[in-house]
Amino acid sequence: MRRRRLVRAGHARTAGDRVSTAGLAVVMLVGLMLIAIVERTLLAGGIPPAVRLPALTPPDALPARAAPAVPPTSPPAVVELEPQVRRLTAAERTGAARAAYGVEPGAQPLAAATRFTQDRTWAFGTSVIPVPDRVPAMPQVALFLAHWDGSRWRMALSGDVGFRMLLRVVPTTLLAAEEIRALARFSVGPTGAPHLMLPWRVGDSWTMTALPQGNRPLASLTFDGGDGRVLAAADGWLYRFCAVPTGAALVMIVHQNGLATVYNRLTGLNGQSDGTAVRQGDPVGRIGAEHPCGGAVPDRPGLQFGLRQGTGDVAFNSMVLGGWIFRENKSPFVGWAERGFSEVTTGGVLPNFGPVDPQILSVPRPVPTPS
Closest by CA to 300, choosing from 313, 315, 287, 289, is 289
Residue 214 gets which letter from DSSP? T
In sequence order, the β-bridge partners of residue 254 are: 237, 260
Q: In angstroms, rounded to a whole number, what is the distance separating the alpha carbons of residues 113 and 77?
A: 13
Residue 184 sits in the site that holds other proteins (CB under 8 A)? no
> Which CB atom, from 31 or from 83, has the smaller least distance to other proteins?
31
Is 90 near other proteins (CB under 8 A)? no
Which 3 state secondary structure label does DSSP give 178? helix
| Interaction pattern, residues 325-364, with other proteins; x per rule: CB under 8 A | ----------------------------------------
Closest CB to other proteins among 40 and 134?
A: 40
Q: Which is nearer to other proteins, 36 or 66 (CB)?
A: 36
Could you say whether residue 22 binds other proteins (CB under 8 A)?
yes
Q: Which CB atom, from 52 or from 365, has the smaller least distance to other proteins? A: 52
Helix axes 161-169 and 177-188, enclosed angle (nearest 10): 170
**Judged by CB under 8 A, does residue 367 bind other proteins?**
no
- 260 secondary structure, DSSP code: E
DSSP assigned state of 317:
T
What are the distances in angstroms from CA 157 to CA 142, 191, 282? 6, 20, 28
Which span (13-21, 65-73, 198-206, 264-272) binds other proteins, by CB under 8 A? 13-21
Tell me the closest approach of the beta carbon of residue 311 to other proteins, in angstroms: 6
Distance in Å from the first CA to the final CA of the chain: 87
Query: Which is nearer to other proteins, 147 or 291 (by Cβ)?
Result: 147
Question: Pick from 62, 96, 176, 289: which binds other proteins (CB under 8 A)?
Answer: 96
Nearer to other proteins, 67 or 344 (CB): 67
Cα separation, 34 vs 38, in Å, equals: 6
Q: Which of 55, 69, 363, 367 binds other proteins (CB under 8 A)?
A: 55
Q: Which amino acid type is present at position 156?
A: A
Least distance to other proteins from the beta carbon of 145, Å? 13
Residue 34 touching other proteins (CB under 8 A): yes
The answer to whether residues 354 and 199 touch, using CB atoms and an 8 Å cutoff, is no
CB of 2 to other proteins, least distance (A): 7
Q: Are 214 and 330 in contact (CB under 8 A)?
A: no
Residue 172 interacting with other proteins (CB under 8 A): no
Interface with other proteins in residues 138-167 (CB under 8 A)? 160-161, 164-165
Q: Where are the beta strands (DSSP E) in the chain?
A: 110-116, 122-129, 140-148, 153-157, 205-213, 216-225, 229-231, 236-241, 249-254, 260-267, 276-278, 283-287, 303-309, 312-314, 320-321, 324-329, 334-339, 342-344, 349-351
Is 18 or 134 the residue whose CB approaches other proteins more closely? 18
Q: Which stretch binds other proteins (CB under 8 A): 35-43, 107-115, 223-231, 334-342?
A: 35-43
27/361 with CB nearer other proteins: 27
AA letter at 371: S
For residues 303, 308, 312, 318, the Cα torsion angle rounded to the nearest 10 degrees is -100
Give the residue with the Cβ less far from other proteins, 8 or 279: 8
Please report, as residue ranges, which positions from 188 to 207 form the binding site for other proteins (by CB under 8 A): 188
Point out which residues bind other proteins (CB under 8 A). 2, 5-6, 8-9, 12-13, 15-17, 19-20, 22-24, 26-28, 30-41, 43, 47-52, 54-57, 95-96, 160-161, 164-165, 188, 311-312
